[in-house]
């Protein structure tokens, strides 16, 4: 006798986890204490991340995939690679056979606009359509949709994370948290197997690559380091194979035809999947056909796979661990099914990778676990106690005098987190602070990604070094940054949610850490020079003011000696040797010491003239606190505060 499933209309909607993937997307929830993926009416858990904009409306998934060959410009595939990307980014034009809105149709060049039919849509809107389709799957299964955790690549920057969160809101979802994909995978493995130890997660999906080193111990999941490339994945395999197929089919000259490009990419993906299990497979492009062997395919894609190796080594180095010390290697993402990828990982790390949880599903399962924990549902009721500690992938800081970066939150700091630094004014009578927030590992602001600029105004004129500006950075559990600035003497303050409108380019995301290593010595030299020049210019300004106010207290011989030291310091500042700047600054300081002492004695004599010793002692005691307050700032440099 058939049974009806009974739903309690008063029951709270189940929290769900979503893997918003480049090639496929999935949704999962926790049932009877274990995470499971929701399937469609055909029993398929994978929803192709494809959206078709047709005359009859929007179609998502397999039906949209079927339209790709005949409507290549109106069918958006792998939209995740466009998240946070600018319209003028060269990589944008390389990612598919699409038509993009020009400056007259979409003046904001920092956001991609696809031309589909008579309208234009952004990557956020396309992603929202995929999320709506997943939401409908949940409603069919559970009757209601609870709060969600959406996974993102660990190396997504602030713009890409914000775009993902916006897509969730646009789809009508309550986004509990964004969760890094490798961390989600480890969460699925850790709870399912009660595993403990140090693991490396190698996540090669359709469009992104992440590597994360985690420590799992007593229910605590601590991310030790993370790295990767937000524009590297199985799509790059497909493009490389498609180029070869076009050449073999004598269609290389037709690459401007969107239909030919889409047909080649579809054929490449099909033969790639087939060669996972067999040694040779047939490819078909219209009436043209041929055979590709696994050996030939591996020769084509090996340069792409090799691009993942430096990030793996860097993650191990950042975690201060050797490959031999790992307790396991977890494979995530459909591209890790490729035999070449598994072989490269095994040879690189000396361990057979774990892949007994479906690499396509493991991220969604981990997201469901995290959603359940955050919502306080079944897993907590079952006695599970899990603490998840993720990290900031790239350092966050602000630009200080001389173009130098003061890193307030270093990369691989656990999130959520906060930190505060204190700064002061460089010149007399400043009435505002311009705050420039940057992201990256280089020593100078110009070599990092600019995230935001804002100005704190209304500061009363004060001598240089007296104003105190406290800048607080707070990174939430989603990895999104909020900056708060406050001038302590006036109470003036301002806050900003850092929401850049476009993300890091491929080259920046891939090379930021490499550049920091390659240019480490040069960067430190440039930083020393910038700081030396800033300090030297401050000393020059103060000395010239002292000379002008000295009057008869400065003998001619001493004046000549000081002016020679001034000229020497000015010449050093114009040069490029930080040691010369430092030496010249110290020489000028020594040359002006006698004058400073005479001016100080004269000021004291004038201050205490005709007054009792007790009165002077009381004033000295009262001023002692002010002196210690000012002393921190007398060199015009940033003072780091305590992390919150």
Structure tokens at 404: 């130098």
- The first and second tokens of residue 12, run together, are 């709270």
Whether the Cβ atoms of residue 72 and residue 261 lie closer than 8 Å to each other = yes
From residue 44, alpha-carbon distances to 61, 198, 361 in Å are 11, 33, 11
Q: Write the DSSP assignment of 52-96 as a string of letters.
A: EEETTEEEESHHHHHHTTT-TTTEEE-GGGGTT--TT-HHHHHSS
d(CA 548, CA 554): 10
- Residue 24's nearest CA partner among 435, 359, 467 is 359
In the chain, how many H helices and how many E strands? 17, 28
Question: What number of CA atoms fall less than 13 Å from residue 569's CA on the CB side?
Answer: 28
Backbone dihedral region of 218: left (phi > 0), alpha (psi from -120 to 50 degrees) or beta? Answer: left
Instruction: Find the distance separating the first CA and the last CA of the chain, reported in whole Å.
Output: 61
Catalytic residues: 19, 80, 181, 203
State whether residue 253 is helix, strand or coil. Answer: helix
Residues 22 and 206 sit within 8 Å (Cβ to Cβ): yes
Q: Which two tokens stand for residue 3?
A: 């049974």
DSSP string computed for 490-543: T--EEEEE---SS---HHHHHHHHHHHHHTHHHHHHHHHHHHHHHHHHHHHHHH
Q: Judge residue 155's burial from the number of C-beta atoms within 10 Å of its C-beta, 0-12 exposed, 13-18 middle, 19 or more buried.
A: buried
* CB count in 10 Å sphere of residue 265: 24
479: left (phi over 0), alpha (psi -120 to 50) or beta: left
Separation of alpha carbons 305 and 124, rounded Å:
29
């Amino acid at each position: 006798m058939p049974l009806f499933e009974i739903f309690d209309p008063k029951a709270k909607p189940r929290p769900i986890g979503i893997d918003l993937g480049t090639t496929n997307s999935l949704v999962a929830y926790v049932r009877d204490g274990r995470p499971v993926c929701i399937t469609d009416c055909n029993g398929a858990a994978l929803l192709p991340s494809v959206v078709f904009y047709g005359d009859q409306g929007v179609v998502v998934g397999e039906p949209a995939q079927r339209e790709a060959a005949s409507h290549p410009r109106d069918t958006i595939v792998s939209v995740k690679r466009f998240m946070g990307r600018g319209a003028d980014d060269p990589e944008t034009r390389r990612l598919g056979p699409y038509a993009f809105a020009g400056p007259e149709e979409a003046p904001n060049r920092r956001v991609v606009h696809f031309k589909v039919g008579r309208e234009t849509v952004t990557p956020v809107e396309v992603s929202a359509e995929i999320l709506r389709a997943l939401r409908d799957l949940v409603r069919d299964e559970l009757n209601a949709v609870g709060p969600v955790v959406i996974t993102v690549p660990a190396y997504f920057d602030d713009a890409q994370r914000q775009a993902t969160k916006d897509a969730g809101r646009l789809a009508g979802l309550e986004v509990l948290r964004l969760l890094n994909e490798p961390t989600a995978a480890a969460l699925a493995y850790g709870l399912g197997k009660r595993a403990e130890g140090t693991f490396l997660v190698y996540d090669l999906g359709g469009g992104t690559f992440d590597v994360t080193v985690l420590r799992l111990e007593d229910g605590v999941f601590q991310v030790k380091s993370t790295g990767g490339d937000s524009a590297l994945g199985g799509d790059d395999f497909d493009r490389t194979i498609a180029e070869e197929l076009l050449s073999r089919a004598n269609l290389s000259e037709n690459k401007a035809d969107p239909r030919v490009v889409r047909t080649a990419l579809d054929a490449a993906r099909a033969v790639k999947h087939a060669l996972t299990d067999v040694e040779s497979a047939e490819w078909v492009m219209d009436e043209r056909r041929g055979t590709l062997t696994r050996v030939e395919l591996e020769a084509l894609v090996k340069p792409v796979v090799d691009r993942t190796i430096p990030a793996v080594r860097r993650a191990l180095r950042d975690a201060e661990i050797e490959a031999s010390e790992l307790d396991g290697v977890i494979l995530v993402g459909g591209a890790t099914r490729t035999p070449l990828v598994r072989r490269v990982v095994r040879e690189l790390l000396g361990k057979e990778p774990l892949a007994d949880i479906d690499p396509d599903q493991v991220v969604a399962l981990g997201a469901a676990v995290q959603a359940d924990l955050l919502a306080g549902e079944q897993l907590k009721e079952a006695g599970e106690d899990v603490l998840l500690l993720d990290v900031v992938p790239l350092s966050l800081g602000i630009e200080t005098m001389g173009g130098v970066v003061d890193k307030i939150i270093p990369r691989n700091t656990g999130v959520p987190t906060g930190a505060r630094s204190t700064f002061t004014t460089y010149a007399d009578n400043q009435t505002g602070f311009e705050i420039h927030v940057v992201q990256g590992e280089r020593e100078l602001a110009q070599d990092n990604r600019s995230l935001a600029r804002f100005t704190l105004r209304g500061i009363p004129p004060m001598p240089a070094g007296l104003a105190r500006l406290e800048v607080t950075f707070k990174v939430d559990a989603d990895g999104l940054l909020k900056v708060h600035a406050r001038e302590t003497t006036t109470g003036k303050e301002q806050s900003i949610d850092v929401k850049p409108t476009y993300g890091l380019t491929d080259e920046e995301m891939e090379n930021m850490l490499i550049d920091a290593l390659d240019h480490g010595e040069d960067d430190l030299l440039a930083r020393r020079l910038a700081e030396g020049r800033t300090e030297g210019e401050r000393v020059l300004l103060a000395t010239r003011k002292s000379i002008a106010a000295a009057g008869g207290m400065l003998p001619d011989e001493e004046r000549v000696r000081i002016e020679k030291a001034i000229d020497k310091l000015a010449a050093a500042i114009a040069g490029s040797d930080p040691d010369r700047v430092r030496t010249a600054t110290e020489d000028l300081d020594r040359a002006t010491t006698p004058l400073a002492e005479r001016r100080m004695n004269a000021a004291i004599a004038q201050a205490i003239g005709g007054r009792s010793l007790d009165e002077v002692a009381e004033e000295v005691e009262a001023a002692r606190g002010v002196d210690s307050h000012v002393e921190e700032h007398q060199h015009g440099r940033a003072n780091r505060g305590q992390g919150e």
